[in-house]
Amino acid sequence: MKRKEAYKLSIHMALAGVLALSLAACSNEPMQGKPAGQPTNETNQETNQNQQTPPEESKSASMSAEGIYNGLIDNHTVEIDQDGAPQAYQLEENVKATVDTLSEKAKVSFDYYELTTKAEDGSEVKQLFITSIKAVGTSAGEGEATVPGENESGVKEPLPQTKDLTVNLEGSQETIKGTLSESTNGYVMYTLPGYILTSEEPGRDVLYAEADDQYMTRIEDLGANPDFEEIRKLAEAELKEVGDVVESNAQIGEGSLKEPKIMLHATNNKLTKDVFVIQIEGNWYKFTMDIPAGERAESFQPSVLSMIGTMTSK
């Protein structure tokens, strides 16, 4: 009996060893239909879930607007006030140089577009990008114009229809009442009695003596970022037809007239011609003054300079 039980036990142990070897061999074989090392469906699904879908971007058509330039927020962003509400705008590279010439609180006209970025979760981020900008005037109410400053509530105040101007005539100062005149080129000024401000062509006005229009000053809007070298060359060529060109650094008035960017002069026995370029509220203007020899010659230049000194954006 004991011998039979020992025999059965040895048979069972042998069968168990064979079964263990078979299981080990099966575990080392690759899965049927899939080569060893190939990712499973579960692995592919996990990899696809981890890949980020690029955000969708859409760009609107170009739009135009006007507002008050409040200044830079950072090197790539400006703030512009529109109807009392400040709005941030991103700057395209090509407009950064122009923005550097703008004065705070200047009225500006600009073109921009809206960039909408849509994330994978469906959320949207909108940004506004300026593609061009310049300092300009805006239309005032009937019979009114506005000054650059603001009252305590931040609202533009209308300019009075008349203003006393101080004119240096023959060594003495005279106070003469000027009348508000409005240009179609985005500015206003006070004109003295006997002087007319009129439009000559787009971007160019003429201020002349009513009694003799040979006494005249041409006013040209140069924009916010003109080519000063080209302007100088053209001015010198024009002045050479009158006489020798002389450059002056003399102060010709107060405010914007204190430091002209260009100041050139030529004269002969029949005509004196002056050309000067100044900046007014972020915009540059060129003035060409013709002063014929005659009885009005002494009063014309100081009168015109007094009127130019009142120029401001609408």
Q: Can you give the CATH number for the domain in which 61 is found? A: 2.40.50.140
Which of 102, 135, 168 is the last residue in one of the domains?
A: 135
Query: Which residue ranges in the chain fall short of pLDDT 70?
Result: 1-54, 137-157, 250-251, 255
Q: What is the pLDDT of residues 7-54, one digit of tens each?
A: 455 545 554 554 554 544 544 544 454 555 555 555 555 555 555 666
Residues 80 and 172 in one domain: no
Same structural domain for residues 182 and 237? yes
Whether 213 is in a domain gets the answer: yes
| Structural domain range at position 113 | 56-135
Domain co-membership, 190 together with 285? yes
**Residue 242 sits in the same domain as residue 304:** yes
Question: What pLDDT score was predicted for residue 97?
Answer: 82
Same domain, 208 and 65: no
pLDDT at 177: 94
185 in the same domain as 309: yes
CATH number at 285 reads: 3.40.1000
Same domain, 79 and 171: no
Q: Has residue 291 been placed in a domain? A: yes
Domain presence at residue 2: no
Asked if residue 14 belongs to a domain, the reply is: no
Tens-place pLDDT, residues 275-300: 999 998 889 999 999 999 988 898 99
Please give the Cα distance from 191 to 195 (Å, whole number).
6
In a domain, 1, yes or no: no
151 occurs within a structural domain: no
Do 212 and 284 belong together in one domain? yes
- The count of domains in the chain is 2
Query: What is the DSSP annotation of the chain?
Result: -HHHHHHHHHHHHHHHHHHHHHHHHHHTSPPTTS-TTPPPHHHHHHHHHHSPPPPEEEEPPPEEEEEEEEEEEETTEEEEEETTEEEEEEE-GGGHHHHTTPPTT-EEEEEEEEEEEE-TTS-EEEEEEEEEEEE---PPPTT--EEEEE-TTSPEEEPPSEEEEEEEETTEEEEEEEEEEE-TTSEEEEE-TTEEEEEEETTEEEEEETTEEEEEEEEEEEESS--HHHHHHHHHHHHHTTS--EE-----SSGGGSS-SEEEEEE-SSEEEEEEEEEETTEEEEEEEEEESSTTHHHHHHHHHHHHTT-EE-
Q: Which residue among 135, 167, 196 closes a domain?
A: 135
Per the domain annotation, does 3 fall within a domain? no
